[in-house]
Amino acid sequence: MPGAHILVNALERAGAEVIFGIPGGAILPAYDPLYDAEGVRHILVRHEQGAGHAAEGYAMASGRVGVCMATSGPGATNLVTPLADAHMDSVPIVAITGQVGSGSIGTDAFQEADIRGITMPITKHNFLVHRPEDIAQAVAEAFHIASTGRPGPVLVDITKDALVAEGEFIWPETIDIPGYKPTRRPHRRQVREAAREICEATRPVFYLGGGVIKADAVDEIQGLVEQTQIPVVTTLMARGAYPDSSDLHMGMPGMHGTVAAVGALQRADLLIALGTRFDDRVTGKLDTFAPNARVIHADVDPAEISKNRNAEVPIVGDCREVITALREHLDEVDTSRWDPWRRTLATMKAKFPTSWEAWEDGSLSPQYVIKRIGELSGPDAWFASGVGQHQMWCAHFLPHEKPRWMNSGGLGTMGYCVPAAMGAKVAQPDAIVWGIDGDGCFQMTNQELVTCALEGIPVKIAVINNESLGMVRQWQTLFYEGRYSNTNLQSTRIPDFPKLAEAMGCVGLRATHIDEVDAVIEQALAIDDRPVVVEFVVHKDAMVWPMVAAGTSNDDIQVAKDMAPEWEEEEL
């Protein structure tokens, strides 16, 4: 059969149910068999970046591999940002791209780009396929690589002549890739050593990263925490891995983390780091991070262990396997030894809660808006956010009782929200799916609302409009003497977001006063046949607190401008 038919059959055999993409010259042969395909749904997006982020949202909300498709040249290069995003946040997606004919490669042919070379640093692996009989093998391996070990993006670039020529469909019964054997089961000796360290510690903390969710280990970690009664912090990518409502949960650590979470890490004598990578946004100035703590570091990716912080007990393995093994070795642990430590952190948590200011002019506080969206939508709703201030407010004020939140953590991609929410809604059609975006981020990829309207994907988008590039403006306030160079979007004037929403086939709503907030949220929740966009006009001077300035120690955390926590002597 033609290579294009091999490709579509291979995608179906690999389990792809949805493809987000846009046709073009080099990939066009593949779109002909897609026309008749019954096992896979193609969703025509308005921009390739939207296709990539939608595949990410689909993957995160479904637990499956997300798939996107684009043509050669600019179509493929428009996927670079979502591929880099998925690579940083360990999201399993497969990108299929068309390439110019084999004989034209290297000639600067029309719409030629070396997408394999361009994306090699930002994909887990990638393929360039020249022959139709190699297509099925490449697709099978791509799905396997994307979804096993540390998840990530894989690119399959296929030349146009390979899509047109005929070859035999050969689906591999097993996948055996030399050199690729991810370690799932941890070494027993290392687990025993970790258990010993835990039993001897006086101030231990579970430091949970996104790998816990990727490993589908939420139930296991909740069981381990209940078993040991050790305090917990969850990073930006791990929000919901352990419920916020628990007394043992100190919140999110890092640059905009809670005082209790930052304080817990800084004062710990043992960090039990699971599925996390000690990134700079958590550690602050690295040589001052958790200065008195020994480290147990478990990760499925051996390259992450001791990359930034040396681990006294390194454990390579799948998080669920590691946690299960730890539970067996900690079956008779004496949890009372940590009573003083828990009391210290409980005092810190009660003394420095996350909160916000009410504005004298009656302007909306964005934190209140986000909190009410979460409360009215319930803990089973799914949320996606853009990047910036609203992202941090989402981290603090949404109801993180379950892993139901998607955001761009490592790359910090503005424009992530709308297409990611679209992909999540495709994966969870019966669930409430909100995208909570800033006015800056929203204006980058809102064209995908047209896709949502035409494809019957009724997402709900909240635009937190502070008329600014808010996080950059916050830095200008704090570090550039209020010189607001090119951060004023004037977006309460242009565009008119409700009218823009209506023009794209959505329902457009707006709230400017606290008395209107609940009503518009409930109105949005009641609409399920079309996408809804709700603009919340909020005060432009609202800031994200607490904050650790970039490059400084976490000990320098501030709860407001020029206001540091006053630590009690027993907390130090």
Among 12, 17, 111, 307, which one carries the catalytic annotation? 111
The rounded distance, in Å, linking the Cα atoms of 336 and 329 is: 17
307 is catalytic: no
Which tokens go with 208? 């949970």
User: DSSP string of 390-451?
Assistant: HHHHHHHHS--SSS-EE---SS--TT-HHHHHHHHHHH-TTS-EEEEEEHHHHHHHTTHHHH
Query: Buried b vs exposed e over 18-31: b needs ≥16 C-beta within 10 Å?
Result: bbbbbbbebbebbb
* Closest of 553, 555, 548, 550 to residue 287, by C-alpha: 553
Which tokens go with 213? 């969710």
Report how far apart, in Å, the C-alpha atoms of 300 and of each of 145, 214, 402 are.
Answer: 13, 10, 22
Residue 534 region by backbone torsions, left for phi larger than 0, else alpha for psi between -120 and 50, else beta: beta
Among 20, 88, 160, 266, which one carries the catalytic annotation? 160
Secondary-structure percent of the chain, ordered helix, strand, coil, rounded to 5: 40, 15, 40
* Closest of 401, 436, 403, 402 to residue 418, by C-alpha: 436
110 is catalytic: yes
To 10 degrees, what angle do helices 417-427 and 48-62 make? 50
To 10 degrees, what angle do helices 366-377 and 514-526 make? 40
- For residue 566, the tally of other CB atoms under 10 A from its CB is 9
* Amino acid code (one letter) for 339: D
Among 471, 504, 543, 547, which one carries the catalytic annotation? 471
Query: Buried b vs exposed e over 477-515: b needs ≥16 C-beta within 10 Å?
Result: beeeeeeeeebebebeeebebbebbeebebbbbbbbebe
The rounded distance, in Å, linking the Cα atoms of 308 and 211 is: 17
The rounded distance, in Å, linking the Cα atoms of 507 and 532 is: 5
Among 20, 48, 352, 460, which one carries the catalytic annotation? 48
- Residues in Cβ contact with 399 at an 8 Å cutoff, skipping those fewer than 6 apart: 244, 374, 375, 378, 379
* Closest of 148, 24, 124, 30 to residue 78, by C-alpha: 24
Please give the helix or strand (H or E) that residue 270 lies within, else none: strand 270-274
Scanning 168-315, the segments in alpha helix (DSSP H) are 188-200, 211-214, 218-228, 259-267, 280-283
Residue 528 per-residue DSSP state: -
Among 1, 110, 499, 568, which one carries the catalytic annotation? 110
Asked if residue 98 lies in contact with residue 125, where contact means CB atoms within 8 angstroms, the answer is: no
Which tokens go with 325? 């093994």
Burial class (CB in 10 A: 0-12, 13-18, 19+), 240: buried
Residue 237 per-residue DSSP state: G
Active site residues: 48, 110-111, 160, 471
